[in-house]
Amino acid sequence: MSLIKAWDVAHVRFRAPDPARMHDFLLDFGMAEAEVSGSRVFMRGCGPQPFLHATETGSAGFAGFGFHVTSEAGLQALAAAEARPVEPLDAPGGGQVVRLTDPDGFVVEAVYGQLPVAPLPTPEPALWNQGGTIARTGKERRVPKGPSHILRLGHVVLGVSDFRRSEAWYKERFGLITSDEIQPAPNVAIGAFLRCDRGEVPSDHHTLFLLQRPGPAGFMHAAFEVVDVDDLMAGREHLLEQHAEAVWGVGRHKLGSQVFDYWRDPWGHELEHWTDGDQFRASDGSRVATLPDLLGVQWGMPMPPHPDVPPQGAQP
C-alpha cells in the first residue's frame, strides 16, 4: 500500500543561465506566461493548471518535478513518514508541497491545493472527412499557423541507476501502477511505464517512465499534450521556422500509442509534443513489453540512435 496516491504529474523544473531565453523557446513550443519575475520564469498551458514548467537562474540542468496528490491528510501523512515539512508552494496557484529526494537524487514535489486558473482558448475541434464519413461539407479546412497549443504536462521520463529500487520508491509513496514493464529478456526488467491509480477513472498510459540506462542517472524527457494532430504539425512547422532543434518525429509510438514529436530546448533538455494517447483504468492491469516494443513505431520516423536508450538486444 502506498502512503498517498498521485492523481497526475504537476510540473517540471529546470535551471538555466538565461531564463529569458527559455521563456522565448517555450512560447514557440506552445506555452504561455504564468509568472515572470526576477530570476524565475513560470510557464503554463491552455488548461487550468497554474504552471507546467519552471525555470530558475543557475547552471543548466533538470531541477525536479511534481505530482498532484489527492488529499491534504495524505500529504501530511507523507510528510510525517518521510520526516519532511509541509511547506507553502511559492509558485503560481499556491498550495502546499512536500519535497522528497528519490534514490538517484531527483527532487520530487508532492503538491496539494493549487488554485486552478481560467483556461486559455484553443482551436475548435475540426471535423474530419475520412473512412467514407463526410462530416464537413461546403467548408474548407485551414490549419492556423503558429505554435502548438499545450494543454497540460502528460509525463516525465527518467534514466535511473537501479530500476527495481526506483520503481519500489515511487510505488510505495505515490501508488503508481505498471502499464508496461520493459524486458529485453524473459524476467529481466530494465524499466516500466507507470500510471496513476485513479480507480475506475481513466489515466494516461504513463505518467512516469523509469529506464535503467547506460551511464549515470538523469532526466530524459518531459511530454506535453497538444490539441490534436493538426496542432502538433502546425507547431512543428513553427519550431522549424524558429530553427529549434528537432530530435525525433513525427510518428506514433507502440507503447502508449501517442502521436509524437520531440525537440530540444536551448540547453539540450528533450521536450515532447504528443496527442491521442492511450487511457487505462486501474482494473486494466499490467503487461510485459520488449525492447522492440519500446523503440518501435506504428508509423512514422524510426527512433534515431540515442545515448540514453539501450539498443535492441542489449542487456541491462
User: pTM of the predicted model, to two decimals?
Assistant: 0.96
Please report whether residue 138 resides in a domain.
no
User: In which domain, by residue range, is 112 found?
Assistant: 6-116+148-300
What is the pLDDT of the chain when averaged over all its residues? 95
Please report whether residue 18 resides in a domain.
yes
Please report whether residue 40 resides in a domain.
yes
Residue where the block lists cell 486559455: 120
C-alpha cell at 197: 491509480
**CA gap 100, 300 in Å, rounded:** 39
C-alpha cell at 187: 524476467
Which pLDDT tens digit goes with each residue over 223-268? 999 999 999 999 999 999 999 999 999 999 999 999 999 999 999 9
310 pLDDT exceeds 70?
A: no
**CA gap 193, 207 in Å, rounded:** 8
Confidence bin at 39 (pLDDT 50/70/90):
very high
Please report whether residue 131 resides in a domain.
no
- Determine the pLDDT at residue 309: 67
Measured at the alpha carbon of residue 142, what is the angle toward residues 141 and 146, in degrees to the nearest 5?
150
308 pLDDT exceeds 70?
A: no
Please report whether residue 101 resides in a domain.
yes
Q: Average pLDDT of 144-167?
A: 98
Q: How many domains does the chain have?
A: 1
**CA gap 164, 166 in Å, rounded:** 6
Q: What is the CATH number of the domain that holds 180?
A: 3.10.180.10
Please report whether residue 136 resides in a domain.
no
- Determine the pLDDT at residue 315: 46
Please report whether residue 17 resides in a domain.
yes
Please report whether residue 280 resides in a domain.
yes
